[in-house]
């Protein structure tokens, strides 16, 4: 390509893709985002954003906007139907260590905030990628509307069933370079119903009439379900109902079942069916007896969805000029609240490494960059994957769930503080903008990609970041 700086093509306008675009915008690196839908509908309930991401939000200059959208969450309360509160997880130690609370933020509002960080002319909707071609000097994508786009780097940020990953893997498989595990289907052992009510009066929920809000997680007494509710700063209640399956499944298996039984497990009618099945689940808080059905009735049906909770970390994240980001290369159980955070951390690492590339980078420069990216991120992603999987065990039924719940209920507070301290060490920043100083008692660990970008910035501008 003719530019001194590489041109980055980003496929997928989810949170990971938008974060990468926003950071490349700050770095003055040319890029374009391609989204297959006409508009991204940010389904789901809410996100928990804390010290792992807030410093980068400060670097983007949107911290005041973020704080206005969020609500501090000092603790998480876990209860069991018929038994009441089992235990409470306090996150106040995190505030001591980092200077930041965890914030509950409605996913649609957070998404819109990130979308505003990308100029409208750099995001292209209705662009479903059909083919990918990689050459020595460029990478090319062709979209369903018969348009062709060229760049130096292609990043697949297009979700768990990534078209970029599928095309890349097809080529690697033909060449005999794709590991067996990467050829297997994405597995899941639970499905999830998610939504968020319309703004409401919290008179019946005094627990939510506070500047800070708690997070309530309830396990069914005799059914394979767990349900979660928490309030947002917009006076809505975000909710999630998890159905724990008896056995592992996959999208391919579900599609086969649909073909054989003519009864789809997905779509709006499936979400409604799950709402009907779970309407009577009692809410653990409030001044009067209310159920999940009351929340369903206060939620726009178009904002309710049923999703699969896949869990997998792929081995192959890149090939040549093509790399993957977020759910496209690692899908985490939501129990650890790390899925969106991990995708945004991927974007931070990639933006730093793209910035640090030499002028007019060669194909080998780019492949080396992707190797550094995976080496840095895989360690943290694997840890988050394992932590999320372990946390999900508490919600399981049977002996495993009983043991996990007993251990968690009797977990000593001093050991929890040690775990929190370990989990907050990774707080990456962009190396090409002014660094955010440490606000807590525990400094963040050194991020190799941040340091590399910082060194490149200093060399190019003569200014210390």
CA distance 308 to 314: 17
CA distance 377 to 349: 8
CA distance 177 to 194: 38
Strand 318-319, strand 225-231: pairing: unpaired
Percent of the chain predicted with pLDDT > 70:
83
Type and span of the H or E element at 398: helix 398-409
* Mean pLDDT for all residues in the chain: 85
Comparison of pLDDT for 252 and 290, the residue scoring more: 290
CA distance 190 to 274: 13
Residue 213, pLDDT score? 67
Cα dist from 177 to 13, 180, 373, 462, whole Å = 29, 9, 20, 43
Residue 73, pLDDT score? 79
Half-sphere exposure in the Cβ direction for 189 (13 Å, CA): 16
The alpha carbons of the chain give a radius of gyration, in whole angstroms, of 22
Non-local CB neighbours of 295 within 8 Å, separated by 6+ positions: 195, 197, 229, 237, 239, 283
Q: Which domains does the chain have, with CATH numbers?
A: 8-70+99-184+311-392+422-461 (3.50.50.60), 187-310 (no CATH)
Non-local CB neighbours of 290 within 8 Å, separated by 6+ positions: 204, 282, 283
> pLDDT-derived band of residue 106, with 50, 70 and 90 as boundaries?
confident
Residue 14, pLDDT score? 93
CA distance 17 to 156: 8
**In the chain, helix, strand, coil percent, each to 5?**
40, 25, 35
> pLDDT-derived band of residue 430, with 50, 70 and 90 as boundaries?
very high
CA distance 325 to 317: 8
The secondary structure of 64-94, three-state, reads HHHHHHCEECCEEEEEECCCEEEEEEECHHH
CA 162 to centroid of chain Cα atoms: 15
- Tell whether the model's pLDDT for residue 388 goes beyond 80: no
DSSP state of 227: E
> pLDDT-derived band of residue 83, with 50, 70 and 90 as boundaries?
low
> pLDDT-derived band of residue 255, with 50, 70 and 90 as boundaries?
very low
Cα dist from 233 to 73, 103, 124, 225, 349, whole Å = 11, 10, 31, 27, 30
Q: Which has the closest alpha carbon to 78: 396, 395, 386, 332?
A: 395
Region of poorest pLDDT, from 3-7, 88-92, 270-274, 442-446: 88-92
DSSP state of 239: E
> pLDDT-derived band of residue 252, with 50, 70 and 90 as boundaries?
low
Helical packing angle, 107-115 and 15-27, nearest 10° = 30
DSSP 143-195: ETTS-EEEESEEEE-S-TT-HHHHHHHHHHHHTT-S-GGGGSPPEEEEEEEEE
CA distance 199 to 379: 40
Comparison of pLDDT for 276 and 389, the residue scoring more: 276
Residue 265, pLDDT score? 39
């Amino acid at each position: 390509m003719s530019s001194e700086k590489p041109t980055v093509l980003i496929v997928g306008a989810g949170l990971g893709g938008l974060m990468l675009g926003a950071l490349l915008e700050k770095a003055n690196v040319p890029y374009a985002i391609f989204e297959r839908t006409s508009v991204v509908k940010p389904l789901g309930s809410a996100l928990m954003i804390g010290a792992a991401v807030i410093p980068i939000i400060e670097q983007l200059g949107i911290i005041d906007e973020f704080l206005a959208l969020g609500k501090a969450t000092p603790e998480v309360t876990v209860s069991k139907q018929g038994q009441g509160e089992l235990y409470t997880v306090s996150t106040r130690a995190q505030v001591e260590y980092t200077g930041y609370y965890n914030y509950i933020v409605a996913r649609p509002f957070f998404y819109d905030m990130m979308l505003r960080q990308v100029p409208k002319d750099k995001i292209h909707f209705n662009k479903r990628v059909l083919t990918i071609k990689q050459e020595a000097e460029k990478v090319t994508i062709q979209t369903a509307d018969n348009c062709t786009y060229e760049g130096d780097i292609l990043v697949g940020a297009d979700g768990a069933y990534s078209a970029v990953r599928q095309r890349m893997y097809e080529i690697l498989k033909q060449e005999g370079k794709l590991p067996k595990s990467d050829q297997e289907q994405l597995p899941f052992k639970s499905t999830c119903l998610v939504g968020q009510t319309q703004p409401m009066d919290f008179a019946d929920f005094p627990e939510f009439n506070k500047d800070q809000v708690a997070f309530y997680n309830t396990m069914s007494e005799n059914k394979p379900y767990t349900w979660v509710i928490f309030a947002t700063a917009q006076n809505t209640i975000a909710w999630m109902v998890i159905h724990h399956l008896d056995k592992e499944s996959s999208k391919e298996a579900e599609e086969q079942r649909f073909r054989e039984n003519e009864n789809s497990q997905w779509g709006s009618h499936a979400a409604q069916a799950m709402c009907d099945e779970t309407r009577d689940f009692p809410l653990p808080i409030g001044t009067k007896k209310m159920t999940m059905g009351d929340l369903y009735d206060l939620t726009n049906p178009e904002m309710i969805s049923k999703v699969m909770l896949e869990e997998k970390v792929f081995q192959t994240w890149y090939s040549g000029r093509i790399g993957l980001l977020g759910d496209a290369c690692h899908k985490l159980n939501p129990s650890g609240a790390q899925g969106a955070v991990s995708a945004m951390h991927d974007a931070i690492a990639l933006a730093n490494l793209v910035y640090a590339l030499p002028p007019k980078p060669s194909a080998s420069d780019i492949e080396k960059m992707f190797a550094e990216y995976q080496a840095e991120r895989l360690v943290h992603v694997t840890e988050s994957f394992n932590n999320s999987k372990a946390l999900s065990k508490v919600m399981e039924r049977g002996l495993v769930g009983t043991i996990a719940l007993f251990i968690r209920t009797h977990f000593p507070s001093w050991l929890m503080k040690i775990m929190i301290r370990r989990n907050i060490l990774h707080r990456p920043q962009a190396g090409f903008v002014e660094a955010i100083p440490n606000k807590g008692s525990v400094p963040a660990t050194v991020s190799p990609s941040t340091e590399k970008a910082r060194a490149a910035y200093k060399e190019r501008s003569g200014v210390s970041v």
